[in-house]
């Protein structure tokens, strides 16, 4: 019919404030949902060119949350995530950055997201268990060294090296990795 507007469905959530960023990241973290973020700017032609590509990729991964952040609209988030060039893609899990890619390289972006998904489905299969084990090890390991480990990416790097379902192996691997990080 003439005059009817077509509704365009998108899987990409546009972040327009720190509050919306915190809400979606907290929701994804609590549900252990992976997140892919595109940091963009309307004046950056490579960023603008990546928008349809990002929509297409988002439609292929229903179990991942896709966010888009215009760095001029939400400068605080770009600063917090240390984004200095556009486009920048962040792959996140558990509220922490797992990978970062700067530039408009569709093939590399697809490859990294594919690897991220593979990691989540394979090596991160025991993610909840690994996270729980890692946290249980943090207190006794930190205290003797008098250091604090506040960076959530440490837990994610620990989770990414655990590729076995054997809980004892997980405990030993996590324990050794934390010792290595603390002793640096």
Same domain for 24 and 100, yes or no, is yes
Same domain, yes or no: 39 and 107: yes
Phi, psi (rounded to 5 degrees) for 65: -90, 125
If asked whether residues 98 and 142 sit together in one domain, one would say: no
- Positive or negative, the CA dihedral 176, 177, 182, 183 is positive
pLDDT bucket at 99, cuts 50 / 70 / 90: very high
103 shares its domain with 139? no
Count CB atoms within 10 A of the CB of residue 169.
12
103 shares a domain with 54: yes
Radius of gyration, CA atoms only, the chain: 19
In a domain, 107, yes or no: yes
Given pLDDT bands bounded at 50, 70 and 90, which one contains residue 181? low
Shared domain for 41 and 105, answered yes or no, is yes
Domain end call among 100, 121, 142: 121
DSSP 160: H
Per-residue pLDDT of 105-138, as tens digits, reads 999 999 999 988 888 776 444 455 555 555 555 5
CATH classification at residue 57: 3.40.30.10
Q: Are residues 83 and 25 in the same domain?
A: yes
5: in domain: no
Give the pLDDT band of residue 10 (cuts 50, 70, 90): confident
Query: By residue range, what is the domain housing residue 136?
Result: 127-183
Same domain flag for 29 and 114:
yes
Per-residue pLDDT of 49-82, as tens digits, reads: 999 999 999 999 988 999 999 999 999 999 999 9
Residues 25 and 116 in one domain: yes
């Amino acid at each position: 019919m003439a005059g009817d507007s077509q509704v365009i469905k998108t899987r990409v959530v546009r972040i327009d404030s720190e509050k919306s960023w915190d809400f979606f990241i907290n929701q994804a973290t609590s549900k252990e949902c992976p997140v892919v973020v595109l940091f963009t700017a309307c004046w950056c032609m490579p960023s603008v060119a990546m928008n349809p590509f990002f929509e297409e990729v988002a439609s292929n991964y229903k179990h991942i949350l896709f966010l888009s952040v215009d760095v001029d609209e939400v400068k605080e988030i770009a600063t917090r995530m240390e984004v200095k060039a556009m486009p920048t893609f962040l792959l996140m899990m558990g509220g922490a950055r797992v990978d970062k890619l700067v530039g408009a390289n569709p093939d590399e972006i697809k490859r990294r997201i594919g690897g991220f998904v593979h990691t989540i489905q394979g090596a991160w299969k025991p993610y909840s268990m690994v996270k729980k084990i890692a946290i249980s090890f943090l207190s006794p390991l930190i205290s003797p060294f008098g250091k604090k480990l506040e960076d959530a990416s440490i837990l994610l790097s620990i989770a990414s090296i655990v590729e076995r379902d054997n809980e004892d192996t997980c405990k030993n691997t996590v324990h050794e990795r934390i010792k290595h990080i603390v002793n640096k």
